[in-house]
């Protein structure tokens, strides 16, 4: 769908490096010492947090990543650097500051519910001598990357002068620079390609309460002017991403059960950086970022999304949310994406009028779906049905027939075609298996030359649209 699986842009992440520490446990009693829960610890784990989570998301997508930031001279800092290095991340530009701890956020989780967070951190400005070394490193590092992501958690690294230095340097070399902002003063992000504030952050930064599309457009335009951005966008949580140009364009996301929003913003900026660096425009990049974020919020804890997970998610959404009715070009695109993920995926195709949906149809379609991984139903249009069965047919119009088919769990895609036969549609889609009824035994099956195999399935005896229509006519005499 996005054709990004084989892309590997070089991306530099500059920002506050953190550890998200999780304590997983059970609680069956209240402490006799105070009215608090007693947690029996089952396990503990460290995960990437802050800018490191942006790095983790980029690695999951296949980017070549370098990271620039500061850690403390402690065991947590060593764990962070060693783990990043083990993933192939460029760590040469991570600096150690003995005067500060490595930022670590410990979360206590009971039954997938976070009940407590403990932070170990310093938000004091990074030592000026150390920061000078960081700046000197960046001066030659930027020439070797395709994109820069500034991940600001307001922990003392990204003050005004340093942030402006990064942005100016990147833009002087025509490198896109994306910023995940913090605070209410966005002056330090002036000149960036884009920012990724949410509605609350954008409202505070612009002093424009966002309550509807009009105020969203106003805030987006204010951000663009104030920060001299190339692209203005505001993330809208479950409503997707709003892109503000001369008008507002909303890139929708898809509703699903949310387990944990931790790190969703990191996923969005990572996916945007990856997609833009790989040649997508901001609209397609935002679709990609929305899908990646939707995968992540369905997991517990800071997480990342792979291309396979994103494609599966989108395919699942198309199957459940979009009625599964597409034109042939859209279906072909979806099939190509599925095949790129798994070349062994078996695509099954069948066709028919399905004028009055009945038990025989359902059983036939279930059997067809069991022959492969995806079932496409080619549906004769009203014009096509009339040409085949007479001027009084179909009984049900094509949109109604398509809607009913799309709501069957065994059907993955519905494509309406105007021709009397599906030959051209089969040639275009090139499915693996072509399914027809047993009445084609010994007959030529249209489109069979474009598939690997033809399967004939038995009908349920006595069940057909024609017989139902005849019975209705007889009852009305």
How does 216-237 read in b/e, with b if 16+ C-beta sit within 10 Å?
Answer: bbbbbbbbbeebebebbbbbbe
Taking the alpha carbons at both ends of the chain, their separation in whole angstroms is 54
Annotated catalytic residue within 97, 152, 266, 355: 266
Q: Taking the CB of residue 333, how many other CB atoms lie within 10 A of it?
A: 14
Cα–Cα separations (whole angstroms), residue 240 to 199, 221, 247, 265, 431: 11, 18, 16, 12, 34
According to DSSP, the β-strands at 347-352 and 194-195 are unpaired
3 as an active site residue: the answer is: no
CB 233 within 8 A of CB 286: yes
Residue 427: strand, helix, or coil: helix
The H or E element containing residue 413 is: strand 413-417
Spatial distance between the Cα atoms of 69 and 71, rounded to a whole number of angstroms: 7
Rounded to whole angstroms, the Cα distance separating 34 from 26 reads 18
Tokens 């083990």 map to which residue? Answer: 86
Cis peptide before 273 (omega within 30 of 0): no
8 A C-beta contact, residue 40 and residue 23 = no
Edge-to-edge strands of the sheet including 37-50? 37-50, 17-30, 103-110, 113-120
SS (HEC) of 190-258: CCCCEECCEHHHHHHHHCCCCCCHHHHHHHHHHHHHHHCCCCEEEECHHHCEEEECCCEEEECCCCCCC
Place of tokens 């009940």: 115
- Answer for the pair 242, 234: CB distance below 8 angstroms, yes or no: yes
Cβ neighbours of residue 468 closer than 8 Å, sequence gap 6 or more: 356, 358
Could you please report the per-residue DSSP string of 110-143? Answer: ETTEEEEEEEE---SPPPHHHHHHHHHHHHHHGG
DSSP type of residue 438: G
d(CA 377, CA 193) in angstroms, rounded, equals: 44
Residues forming the active site: 266
């Amino acid at each position: 769908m996005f054709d990004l699986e084989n892309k590997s842009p070089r991306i530099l992440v500059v920002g506050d490096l953190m550890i998200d520490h999780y304590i997983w446990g059970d609680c069956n009693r209240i402490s006799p010492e105070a009215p608090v829960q007693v947690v029996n610890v089952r396990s503990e784990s460290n995960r990437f947090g802050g800018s490191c989570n942006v790095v983790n998301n980029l690695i999951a997508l296949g980017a070549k990543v370098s990271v620039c930031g500061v850690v403390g001279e402690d065991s947590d800092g060593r764990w962070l650097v060693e783990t990043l290095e083990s993933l192939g991340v460029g760590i040469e530009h991570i600096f150690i500051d003995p005067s500060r701890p490595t930022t670590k956020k410990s979360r206590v989780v009971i039954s997938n519910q976070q009940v407590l967070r403990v932070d170990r951190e310093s938000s004091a400005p990074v030592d000026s001598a150390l920061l000078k070394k960081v700046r000197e490193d960046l001066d030659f590092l930027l020439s070797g990357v395709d994109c820069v992501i500034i991940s600001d958690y307001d922990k003392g690294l990204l003050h005004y002068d340093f942030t402006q230095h990064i942005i100016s340097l990147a833009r002087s070399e025509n490198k896109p620079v994306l910023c995940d902002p913090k605070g209410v003063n966005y002056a330090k992000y002036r000149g960036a390609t884009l920012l990724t504030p949410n509605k609350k952050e954008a409202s505070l930064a612009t002093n424009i309460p966002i309550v509807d599309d009009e105020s969203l457009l106003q805030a987006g335009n204010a951000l663009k002017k104030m920060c001299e951005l190339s692209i203005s966008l505001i993330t809208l949580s479950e409503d997707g991403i709003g892109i503000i140009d001369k008008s507002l364009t909303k890139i929708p996301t898809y509703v699903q059960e949310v387990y944990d929003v931790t790190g969703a913003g990191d996923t969005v900026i990572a996916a945007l950086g990856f997609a833009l660096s790989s040649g997508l425009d901001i609209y397609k990049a935002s679709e990609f970022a929305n899908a990646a974020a939707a995968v992540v919020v369905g997991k517990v804890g800071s997480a990342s999304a792979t291309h396979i997970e994103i494609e599966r998610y989108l395919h699942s959404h198309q199957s459940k949310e979009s009625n599964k009715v597409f034109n042939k070009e859209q279906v072909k695109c979806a099939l190509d994406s599925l095949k790129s993920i798994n070349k062994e995926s078996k695509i099954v195709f069948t066709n028919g009028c399905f004028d009055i949906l009945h038990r025989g149809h359902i059983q036939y379609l279930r059997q067809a779906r069991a022959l492969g991984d995806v079932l496409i139903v080619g549906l004769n249009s009203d014009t096509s049905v009339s040409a085949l069965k007479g001027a009084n047919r179909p009984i049900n119009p094509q949109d109604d027939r398509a809607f009913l088919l799309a709501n069957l769990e065994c059907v993955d895609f519905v494509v309406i075609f105007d021709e009397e036969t599906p030959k051209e549609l089969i040639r275009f889609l090139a499915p693996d298996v072509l399914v027809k009824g047993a009445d084609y035994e010994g007959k030529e099956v249209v489109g069979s030359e474009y598939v690997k195999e033809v399967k004939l399935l038995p009908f349920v005896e006595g069940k057909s649209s024609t017989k139902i229509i005849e019975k209705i006519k007889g009852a009305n005499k």
